[in-house]
Amino acid sequence: MAPEKLLELAREAMTRAYAPYSGYKVGAALLCADGTVYGGCNIENAAYGPTNCAERTAIFKAVFDGKRDFTAIAVVGGKDGQITGAFPPCGVCRQVMREFCRDDFLIYIGGAGDDYQALTLAQILPHSFSASEHMT
């Protein structure tokens, strides 16, 4: 699937965001190896800590459905849903990606308009900790 299409699905997912506290709406679209796509949005909480990011919502939905082989994720976000620049995945989401994705997993970070950046998991999470490398 073209990155542009996955970014469009991430923008759609962003409209589902529940972000009454920060006002930052975030959307993600996760492409599975079998071609299916899972959307995710951020879901905030009055206690702040339980907030779930858009990327993790998408990944957890997919894992619940039995998917574990992922190709790429597109992420967009911005204040009140206005995308004015890049909204890169937080550190916790990067670590969750590490659990299921290989080094060449692609992250498309959408910007204003049709702008986007394509980075691999190895690029955004170098020297990472993962079960396969450290617990054998």
Active site residues: 55
Residue 70 CB partners (closer than 8 Å, separation 6+): 30, 31, 32, 33, 59, 62, 97, 100, 101, 105
Closer Cβ to ligand THU, 37 or 87, answer by number: 87
Nearest to 38 by CA among 24, 58, 54, 18: 58
If binding is defined by CB under 6 A, does position 26 make contact with ligand THU? Answer: yes
Closer Cβ to ligand THU, 26 or 62, answer by number: 26
If binding is defined by CB under 6 A, does position 55 make contact with ligand THU? Answer: yes
Min dist CB 35 to ligand THU, Å, is: 24
Identified binder of ligand THU from the candidate list 13, 14, 31, 42, rule CB under 6 A = 42
Alpha-carbon span 106 to 123, nearest angstrom: 10
Count of positions (residues) in the chain: 136
Residues that bind ligand THU (CB under 6 A): 19, 22, 24, 26, 42, 44, 51, 53-55, 89-90, 93
